[in-house]
A and B are shown apart, each in its own frame.
Chain A
Amino acid sequence: MAIYASGVIFEGVDTSDAGCWHLDAYLKRGGYQALKKILENKIPQDEVIAEVKGSGLRGRGGAGFPTGLKWSFMPRSFPGEKYVVCNTDEGEPGTFKDRDILRYNPHSLIEGMIIAGYAMGSRCGYNYIHGEIFEMYERFEEALEEARQAGLLGQNICGSGFNFELYAHHGYGAYICGEETALLESLEGKKGQPRFKPPFPASFGLYGKPTTINNTESFASVPFIIRDGGTRFLEQGKPNNGGTKLFSVSGHVNRPGNYEIPLGTPFSTLLEMCGGMRDGKKLKAVIPGGSSAPVLPGDIMMDVTMDYDSIAKAGSMLGSGAVIVMNEDICMVKALERLAYFYHEESCGQCTPCREGTGWLYRVIHRIEHGLGRPEDLDLLTSVGNNMAGRTICALADAAVFPVRSFTKHFRNEFEYHIEHKKCLVNHKWC
Chain B
Amino acid sequence: MALEIEIDGKKLTVPDGSTIMDAAHQVGTYIPHFCYHKKLSIAANCRMCLVEVEKAPKPLPACATPVTDGMKVFTHSDLAVKAQKGVMEFLLINHPLDCPICDQGGECQLQDLAVGYGGGDSRYQEEKRSVPEKNMGPLVSAEEMARCIHCTRCVRFTEEIGGFQEIGMAHRGEFSEILPFLGKTVDSEISGNVIDLCPVGALTSKPFRYSARTWELSRRKSVSPHDGLGSNMVLQVKHNRVYRALPLENESINECWLADRDRFSYEALNSDLRLTKPMVKQDGRWIETDWAAALDYVSHGLKDIIARDGADRVAFLASPHSTTEELFALKKLARALGVKNTDYRTRRADFRADALQNGALWLGGDVVELAAAKSVLVIGSTLRKEQPLIAARLRQSVKKGTQLNLLALADDDLRTDTHAKLVVAPAALVNALAQVVAAAAELKQESCQLSLDAVSISDEARRIAASLSEAETGAIVLGNLAQHHPAFSELLLLAQELSRLTGARFGLFGEAANSVGAEVFFRPDQGGLNAAQMLAQPQAAYVLLNTEPDFDAHNPQLAKATLGQAKMVAALTAFRSPELLACADVLLPIAPFTETAGSFINMEGRLQSFNGVVKPLGETRPAWKVLRVLGNLAQANGFDFSSVEEIRAEFAKQLNADRVTGLDNTLKTDAAAVSTAVAAEGLQRLGEVPIYQADALCRRATSLQQTADARAPILGLHPDTLREQQLQAGQTVTVRQGEAEVSLTVGEDATLPSGVARVPTAHPLTASLGAMFGRIDIVRGK
Contact = CB atoms under 8 A, between A and B. Distances in A.
Q: Do A and B touch, yes or no (CB under 8 Å, in the complex)?
A: yes
Interface of A: 174, 176, 191, 196, 198, 344-360, 363-364, 367, 380, 383, 386-387, 390-393
Contacts of B150: 349-350, 352, 355
Given A348-B173, A390-B58, 4 more contacts: A352-B47, A352-B91, A354-B173, A359-B174
B456 interface: no
A349 B174 contact: yes
Nearest to A387: B86
A353 B50 CA distance: 12
Contact of A351 (B47, B58, B94): B47
A122 to B, nearest CB: 26
B760 interface: no
Interface stretch (B37-45, B281-289, B467-475): B37-45
B45 A352 contact: yes
B169 interface: yes
A196 B42 contact: yes
Contacts of B152: 350
A390 B59 contact: yes
A300 B67 CA distance: 43
A223 B475 CA distance: 57
Contacts of B83: 387, 391
A351 B45 contact: yes
Contact of B91 (A191, A356, A358): A356
Given A196-B42, A391-B83, A349 B173 contact: yes
Interface in B273-314: none
5 contacts: A344-B173, A347-B172, A359-B174, A387-B86, A390-B59
A121 B150 CA distance: 40
A384 to B, nearest CB: 8
Nearest to B45: A350
Given A349-B169, A350-B152, A391 B174 contact: no
A353 B87 contact: yes
A131 to B, nearest CB: 14
A174 B64 CA distance: 25
B4 interface: no
Interface in B94-150: 94, 123-124, 126, 149-150
Interface string B32-76: 000000000011111110100000011101001010000000000
Contacts of B90: 352-353, 355-357, 360, 387
A351 B34 CA distance: 12
Contacts of A367: 126
B89 interface: yes
Interface residues of B, number: 35
B458 interface: no
A360 B61 CA distance: 23
B37 to A, nearest CB: 15
A143 B50 CA distance: 47
B66 A355 contact: no
B176 interface: yes
A349 B172 contact: yes
Contacts of B47: 351-353, 391-392
B155 to A, nearest CB: 11
Q: Helix, strand, loop or mixed for chain B's interface?
A: loop
Closest 5 A/B residue pairs (Cβ): A387-B86, A390-B58, A349-B176, A347-B173, A356-B90
B175 interface: yes
- Interface-central residue, B45, B91, B169, by most chain A CB under 10 Å: B45
Interface in B159-188: 169, 171-176
A201 B735 CA distance: 59
Given A356-B91, A391-B47, A393-B45, A191 B172 contact: yes
B581 interface: no
B347 to A, nearest CB: 44
Contact of A348 (B44, B64, B124, B172): B172
B369 to A, nearest CB: 29
Contact of B58 (A354, A359, A363, A391): A391
A367 B125 CA distance: 11
- Interface-central residue, A191, A348, A349, A392, by most chain B CB under 10 Å: A349
B455 interface: no
B93 interface: yes
A352 B175 CA distance: 12
A359 B152 CA distance: 20
Contacts of B46: 351-352
Contacts of A357: 90
A148 to B, nearest CB: 34
Nearest to B42: A196
Nearest to B170: A191
B89 A387 contact: yes
B175 A349 contact: yes
Given A363-B126, A391-B83, A352 B48 contact: yes
A380 B61 CA distance: 25
Contacts of A191: 169, 172
A374 B48 CA distance: 30
Contacts of B64: 196
A347 B45 CA distance: 13
B423 to A, nearest CB: 29
A344 B174 CA distance: 8
Contacts of B93: 356, 360
- Interface-central residue, B86, B91, B152, by most chain A CB under 10 Å: B86
Interface string B17-43: 000000000000000000000000011
A359 B46 CA distance: 16
A172 to B, nearest CB: 12
Contact of A359 (B50, B66, B171, B173): B173
A196 B150 CA distance: 16
A272 B521 CA distance: 97
B123 A380 contact: yes
A346 B176 CA distance: 11
Contacts of B91: 352, 356
Contacts of A353: 47, 86-87, 90
Contact of A360 (B124, B172, B175): B124
- Interface-central residue, A350, A351, A352, A364, by most chain B CB under 10 Å: A352
Nearest to A345: B173
A360 B66 CA distance: 32
A295 to B, nearest CB: 23
A348 B48 CA distance: 18
- Interface-central residue, B58, B83, B87, by most chain A CB under 10 Å: B87
A191 B150 CA distance: 15
B173 A355 contact: yes
Nearest to A379: B123
Contact of A391 (B42, B50, B66, B169): B50
A349 B91 CA distance: 12
B335 to A, nearest CB: 62
Given A349-B169, A350-B45, A363-B126, A356 B174 contact: yes
A347 B176 CA distance: 10
Contacts of B176: 349, 355
B50 A347 contact: no
A177 to B, nearest CB: 11
A348 B204 CA distance: 26
Contacts of A386: 86
Nearest to B175: A349
Contacts of A383: 123
Nearest to A389: B58
Nearest to B95: A356
Contacts of A393: 44-45
A407 B126 CA distance: 22
Contacts of A345: 173
A408 B655 CA distance: 76
B152 to A, nearest CB: 7
A20 B46 CA distance: 49
A260 B149 CA distance: 46
A393 B49 CA distance: 13
Nearest to B90: A356
A393 B59 CA distance: 11
Contact of A346 (B86, B94, B173): B173
